Structure 1
Amino acid sequence: MRSDTESASTITVTGPKDPIAKGDHVTLTATGDQIGGDNTAPFTIPVADPASHVWTSSDPKVASVDRSTGALTAHRPGTVTVSVTSGGVTGSAQVVVQ
């Protein structure tokens, strides 16, 4: 039997839509679309098992992210891409810090 993360076909990362301020703390979330089988429609599940995914920030000096929880801390103005990889599939979102 395959685990949820092994069968994810896409990952969607959800974060703040509006810019955040220096010093703000926000938690990003990730959901994965799974292929349920030849005759089953895809369905969405949370990417929640810390052992099966890793969060990263494109510029930790602007905003850092906890590798297992997706908790983001804004450090200075700029834009970062925050990504999560699970089962060889990566999803990302941009976060703007003012």
Structure 2
Amino acid sequence: MTNAIALAAVQEAIATDYPDRSIELIAQVHHIRPDDIAHVEVYGCQDTKLRRSVRTNAVILLERLGIHVELIGSHDVFTVAPDFSDPVALKEFQLRLAEQNHAAKRS
């Protein structure tokens, strides 16, 4: 799944911002929209403010990768973990994030 590989790239990008923590992301995906993400869960930090900040950052990065994030009420979801099994696809997502980050710093 593309969104699972994108989630892996986002998790690695966020991990560089918090080297003292073991932050993990899990996505909830609607059965009716398997290419989108409904919600991102953050594990590895107990502080509510930090967890919300990490979640917001994760959503921004996922959307930059073209993954739509929206929770739709009354629809079933399934859980998706980060997928590191395709190193080529993972590297492509990492490069896209790096390029967008570089472009954002220039503007």
Name the TM-score, length of structure 1 as normaliser.
0.30
Greater per-residue helix proportion: 2
Greater per-residue strand proportion: 1
Name the TM-score, length of structure 2 as normaliser.
0.28
